[in-house]
Each structure stands twice: as structure tokens, then as C-alpha cells.
Amino acid sequence: MPFVEYLSAKGVVPGIKVDIGLKEMEGHVGEQITKWDDALDSRLKEYYQMGARFAKWRAVITIGENIPSDECILENCKNLTEYARLCQSNNIVPIVEPEVLMDGAHTIERCEEVTHKTLSVLFAELKKANIDLSGLILKPNMVISGLDGEKVSSDVIAQKTVQCFKETVPAEVAGIVFLSGGQSEAESCENLSAISKLAKEQNAPWKLTFSYGRALQNSAIKNWLGKDENKTKSQEIFAHRAKLASAASKGEYSADME
């Protein structure tokens, strides 16, 4: 049975990552853009026929000395917009992922500044292209300090994230699904829970949830090691992390649930 059919039979909506990786931006040291694919339209048509109903495209914005540049932000946002347009023209929901990387020692204030600028440019481009924002999902970073920077509390992360998004993300956006971006499993839950709780208190207009990779899978993969005898325990670990992330998306996570 094709995997797509198996998922659909379980009530899971199948989707696919369609970007083809990153490349260095010419003339911009330390900055990257997502490679463009002239076959994207035909690929999306094929993926729809195969059962895909959403897609994902990731752009990365690096914080460093004198970067990101306005040119890098704009080019990545233009590519995200064209991707979203092609998705919607093929009846596929685009997940738009402009990730401001956690790499570095920058402050949370610097992340807030760059995230605010990136999202402002992105939604200006999306509106210019008449993208249906109610048929689009945003996959952003949280507003958070760099991995090598000074750690701040989940309450501060929540305050800065919700404020930034209220100023930049239109109310009609269907949903926001946060990436974990290098946070630990527990941190990603703690911070998402604080953000979700505050957003609810402030009557934020969007639905919030998670779209985690390592923060869901890391412990399960480390336990599994590709060995059949570890399969059941690894499934239990994965299910436990999914339940914790789900609780966090409702603002109901606490550390004693670990």
C-alpha cells in the first residue's frame, strides 16, 4: 500500500517538502537563499495527484555581523511568495517557513528585530501577490535569543513572540505552527506553552500549534538505533513527546509532565 493511502486511511493529511535546499547568496557572505526550482509547478501537480494536500518551503535568515541584509530578506520572501502562489493554484496548502536561525550569540531583542522585519516583508509580498492568507500556514521561529546567547525565561519569550506577531501577522492567516529550531525537547514545550497561554489571554486571532522535527523525534531515534527490539519503547517515547507538545499548544504543559 502506498504510504499516502495508508496515512489517509488513518485520517492523516499527507504533505511534502518541496524546496530543494539552500545555496550561498551571491555577493552576500554568510547569507543563504533557497534554491529555486523551475519544475515546481509541474511537481506540485504530480504531488496533488499522488495525494499531497499541503507542502512546505523553508527559507533561512542568519543573524550575524551586518546581516541579514534587506536584499537577502526580500529575495527569500519573494521566493516564498511565488511558492505559495503555485501551491494555491494547484489546490495545495502552502506552509511558509521563514526561519530566523538560532545560531549565534545574539540577544532576544536582536531576534525580535529581525523576525519583525522578515515577517513584515513576507506579508507585504504575499498581499501584493493576492495570496489567500486564510489558505496558508505560517511556520516561524519563536522570538528567542541565540543558542550561544544569554538565556531568557519562557515568559519573556512569550511576550516578545506574541507582540511581534500581533504587529506583523494578519488575522486571516489560517494558523501558526512553530518550529523548534534547535531548542531541546523540554524547552520547545515550555516556550510553546507560554506563548499559547499568553496568546489565548490576549485573544490573538490565529490558531497556534507545533511543527517540530528534532524536538519530537530525537529521544525516540536515539533509543531505537534501527533495532527491532527497541521499536515498541521508541514508539512510546515518540507518543509521549507528541502528547507533551500537544499540551503545550494549548498552554497546558508543565515540567512535571516530563
Supply the residues annotated as catalytic.
97, 139
What SS3 string covers the chain? CCHHHHHHHCCCCCEEECCCCEEECCCCCCCEEECCCCCHHHHHHHHHHHCCCEEEEEEEECCECCECCHHHHHHHHHHHHHHHHHHHHCCCEEEEEEEECCCCCCCHHHHHHHHHHHHHHHHHHHHHCCCCHHHCEECCCCCCCCCCCCCCCHHHHHHHHHHHHHHHCCCCCCEEEECCCCCCHHHHHHHHHHHHHHHHHCCCCCEEEECCCHHHHHHHHHHHCCCHHHHHHHHHHHHHHHHHHHHHHCCCCCHHHC
What's the grid cell of residue 165? 506577531
CA–CA separation, 117 and 127 (whole Å) = 16
For residue 8, the tally of other CB atoms under 10 A from its CB is 14
Residues 57 and 96 sit within 8 Å (Cβ to Cβ): yes
